[in-house]
Structure 1
Amino acid sequence: MEKVGVHKRDIMLDRVENAQTAQQDAQEQFKSALEQLSELINYDGGDLASQYELVNDQYEASKASAAEVESRIAAIEGVADALFDEWNEEIQQYSSQTLKRQSQQKLRETQGNYQSLIKAMHRAKDKMTPVLSALKDNSLYLKHNLNAQAIGALQGEYKTIKRDVESLVAEMSKAIAQSQQFIDLLQPE
């Protein structure tokens, strides 16, 4: 895990920054999918098959963004475990009780901040699944019913999806802010 000259703290910092970027990208992707669905709901003629393709493309892109966020969270968890294990082992090497206590306190603070961060990230990630399911359902419904009636039927679903996407975006904003706080704590002084 640790490369020559690169400490776990620096790896952790990079992974949190990468996850933050993935969350921001996913946030934008889900907004884009909602916008595409909104355009479909306001459809007033033309090629329904191409509209379906656009909606489906947005669903697929949203699904990929969600998978990327999940992967980034797992990468953070892996390096965090290694970082905290190493830190605990190194604390035992102190001969000065004062420095040992200070390091233990800093470890507890960092672990607490990490737990807050990872919980926020998981809360945001967990909100993606129902939104993805709704996007997929609507995409499939449209595919199987390529007609104006299908669009009318999607209008009721749109309000629910819009509310879910707005909730997801708000949760992701909290996780992104939490990531920034954690990054600020890990930055070398």
Structure 2
Amino acid sequence: MTMTSSRRIVLAMLVLTTLLAGCQSLYFSAMEKVGVHKRDILIDRVEDARESQQDTKEQFQSALDAFMAVTNYDGGDLEATYRDLNDVLERSEERADELSERIDAVEDVAEALFDEWQEELDQYHNLSLRRSSEKQLKTTRQRCDQLIRQMRRAEAKIEPVLVPLRDQVLYLKHNLNARAVNALSQELVQVRSDVASLLHELEVAVDEADRFIRTLEQQS
């Protein structure tokens, strides 16, 4: 790849990033004109992320149950079993993608809210009110950062679960026999442990979301 081509790619990425940021800014401005402020949007998006965490938790528990059920295979249509597990895997991947998108959405509006809040501190004439608002900003930002860290921690637990499930579905696709089922049984020992860890982190993230929502509602 030539230097010119590299520069074009970098430039295109910068333009795309700018356009996306501009779209977000226009969206927030339009919403404020109808009385919906960034704080309200943040609450909505955290609620959406919390819902997605719950859905992800349920989906991965269901996925584990479906894969575990195959270990009791005692004859039958393995082709149908493969299709069922592939469907379960695809639904799990969809939940994972949705969760990542919703966490990104929380980060986007949180950054916009806190940047605006920080800039508006300079508009105060009353120093006591300014200090109070600044303190509240610091506390809210810290709690939001804690929430996002926990959501990302839970998100990071998803791929270690999906990787072996993808492998097993692929292996089963080309080996519709008892050997493939036996390989799945051996792999699920670690998968079960990874799913338990994922579900725990999702539960913690849901609790963090509940606490953060209460914090924002109390400030309204």
| TM-score, length basis structure 1 | 0.98
User: 1:142 — aligned with what?
Assistant: 172
Matched, 1:14 2:44: yes
User: 2:143 — aligned with what?
Assistant: 113
* Alpha-carbon distance between aligned partners in 1 of 2:150 and 2:178, rounded to the nearest angstrom: 40
* Alpha-carbon distance between aligned partners in 1 of 2:147 and 2:98, rounded to the nearest angstrom: 17
* Alpha-carbon distance between aligned partners in 1 of 2:63 and 2:93, rounded to the nearest angstrom: 10
Count, aligned residues? 189
For structure 1, the 5+ residue unaligned runs are: none
* Alpha-carbon distance between aligned partners in 2 of 1:184 and 1:142, rounded to the nearest angstrom: 47
> Which stretches of structure 1, 4 residues or more, deviate above 3 A after TM superposition?
none
User: 1:65 — aligned with what?
Assistant: 95
User: 1:180 — aligned with what?
Assistant: 210
How far off is 1:47 after superposition?
Answer: 0.5
- Flag the structure with larger Rg: 2
Aligned pair partner of 2:78 in 39, 48, 57: 48
Aligned pair partner of 2:114 in 84, 99, 108: 84
* Alpha-carbon distance between aligned partners in 1 of 2:65 and 2:42, rounded to the nearest angstrom: 34
Matched, 1:34 2:67: no
How far off is 1:130 after superposition?
Answer: 1.0
Give the match's secondary structure for 1:187: helix
- CA RMSD, 1 decimal: 0.9
Q: How does 1:141-160 map to 2 (within 5 A)?
A: 141-160=171-190
How far off is 1:146 after superposition?
Answer: 0.5
* Alpha-carbon distance between aligned partners in 2 of 1:179 and 1:42, rounded to the nearest angstrom: 38
Deviations 1:127-160 (A, max 9, x none): 1011111110111111111111110121110111
Bigger RCO (CA 8 Å, 6+ sep)? 1
| TM-score, length basis structure 2 | 0.84
